[in-house]
Amino acid sequence: MSSTASFFPRVLLGGLVAVLSPFVSAQRDARQAFDLAVPLAPTSYVVDGRARLGYELHLTNFAAVPLRLTRVDVFAEDGSTPLVTLSGGALAASLGRIGPEAGEDASTLAPGVRAIVYLDLAVDAQTPPALRHRVEFQSTTDGTSARVEGGRVAPRPAATRALGAPLRGGPWVAVYSAEWTRGHRRVLYAVDGRARIPGRHAIDWIKLDAQGGQFAREGKDKRDWYGYGADVLAVADATVAAVRDDVAEPVAVSDGNPAVSIGDASGNYVALALADGRYAFYEHLKPGSIKVRRGERVRRGDVLAALGYTGQSTGPHLHFHLADAPLPLAAEGLPYAFEGWRPLGAYVSAEAFGKGGRWSPPENDEPATRAFPAPFAVVEFTSPAR
């Protein structure tokens, strides 16, 4: 073989080694770490004039040793500055685990264990077309640190249709908190082979008096609660997709949640199929009060039922949420926006609401248009437009 003929294979081989060497090095230095996944792409919604994204990043430890989470960054796909950074106490407050060890240190994951990072991002500018995630962690055996990136997801645009009022008048307080470890936002149900969060954007609506009280006297009698028996209204022209009206109410309002099976947790309910493919759920309804049947057409503002105290409930209230299927537990919760309500103020925290008393006044009492109420906002609903 000529020297020229033997030269080209050597050059080609040398070039190939040069090209592959970074990949070979990366493969040699690889280690088992976390699988990053976002099961449901977030949909943007507006709270207090700011666009937000609320979703979950699932982290599963595929290493042979326990790993300790130290930091989570969320980036726009082409961005270099994090949209949000979680570490220390903020990371601990955003983490959740499944199973009997859920109350332990959620930041340290044994092999095979999954943690969930509950994310809530403010995106004041245009919603990024895609998001990526960076997770930093330490090995609990030798203390070495590393990072991994993944969990790419493309957010969905906000729904174009705003909802009418689910109730009349006020004051009504919007009870929810993304930080509650057993709040709607963090309760997963795996009832048909897939884990979902139906109440991801659920609100429990409780009627108040002018001083912030929820009931007269001691509140043991459900009829003493100011919201009990209030008309529950269709938020849009829709078709009734599902109805349940066979759950009895407890005789008296007890401290804490009544012990019920997960199949009865929603109590009596109505689900409406909206024109855009979403489903509106009204739960804990008063027995015998439901006025509609499956397949019936309703118009925005029609009375569906009365607010009650059935299922898993600490007191009479309306549980309202939107989902992607007409099943109380086997559906993913979706964000939404109400129109036709006016902010009366808010409680500054869950603790402030729990102590009772009057809410803080609003910074702006202009009627809200196409917005999701803030946590513990106190609102007045106007008459729903037809």
The structure's pTM equals 0.88
Looking at residue 233, what is its pLDDT?
98
Query: Phi then psi for 313, rounded to 5 degrees?
Result: -150, 135
Q: What is the pLDDT of residues 277-303, one digit of tens each?
A: 999 999 999 999 999 999 999 999 999
Looking at residue 369, what is its pLDDT?
74
- Among 1.20.1260.10, 1.10.150.130, 2.70.70.10, 3.20.20.450, name the CATH number for the domain at 169-381: 2.70.70.10
Looking at residue 113, what is its pLDDT?
93
Helix or strand run (H / E) with residue 169: strand 169-175
Between CA 322 and CA 272 the distance in angstroms is 9
pLDDT above 70: residue 27:
no
Amino acid at site 80: S
Q: What is the pLDDT of residues 143-172, one digit of tens each?
A: 889 999 999 999 998 888 899 999 999 999
pLDDT above 80: residue 315:
yes
pLDDT above 50: residue 92:
yes
Helix or strand run (H / E) with residue 6: helix 3-28
Residue spans per domain, the chain: 34-153, 169-381
Between CA 68 and CA 61 the distance in angstroms is 10
Q: What is the pLDDT of residues 61-91, one digit of tens each?
A: 999 999 999 999 999 988 899 999 999 999 9
Looking at residue 21, what is its pLDDT?
46
Mean of pLDDT values over 180-204: 93
The answer to whether 78 and 148 are in contact (CB under 8 A) is: no
Looking at residue 373, what is its pLDDT?
95
Residue 26 binned pLDDT confidence (cut-offs 50, 70, 90): very low
Q: What is the pLDDT of residues 244-260, one digit of tens each?
A: 999 999 988 987 667 78
Q: What is the pLDDT of residues 99-124, one digit of tens each?
A: 655 556 789 999 999 999 999 999 87
pLDDT above 90: residue 10:
no
238-244 vs 297-298, strand pairing mode? antiparallel
Q: What is the pLDDT of residues 168-189, one digit of tens each?
A: 999 999 999 988 878 899 999 9
Looking at residue 258, what is its pLDDT?
72
Query: Phi then psi for 156, rounded to 5 degrees?
Result: -95, 150
The answer to whether 52 and 125 are in contact (CB under 8 A) is: no
Between CA 312 and CA 259 the distance in angstroms is 7
Look up residue 361 and give its two tokens. 């006044």
Looking at residue 307, what is its pLDDT?
98
Q: What is the pLDDT of residues 318-376, one digit of tens each?
A: 999 999 999 999 999 999 999 999 999 999 999 999 888 999 998 877 777 789 999 99
Residue 98 binned pLDDT confidence (cut-offs 50, 70, 90): confident
CATH topology of domain 34-153: Immunoglobulin-like (2.60.40)
The per-residue pLDDT of the chain, averaged, comes to: 88
What is the secondary structure of 38-101 as a DSSP string? -SS--B-EEETTEEEEEEEEEEEE-SSS-EEEEEEEEEETT-SS-SEEEEHHHHHHHEEE-STT
Looking at residue 256, what is its pLDDT?
67
Residue 25 binned pLDDT confidence (cut-offs 50, 70, 90): very low
Looking at residue 160, what is its pLDDT?
81
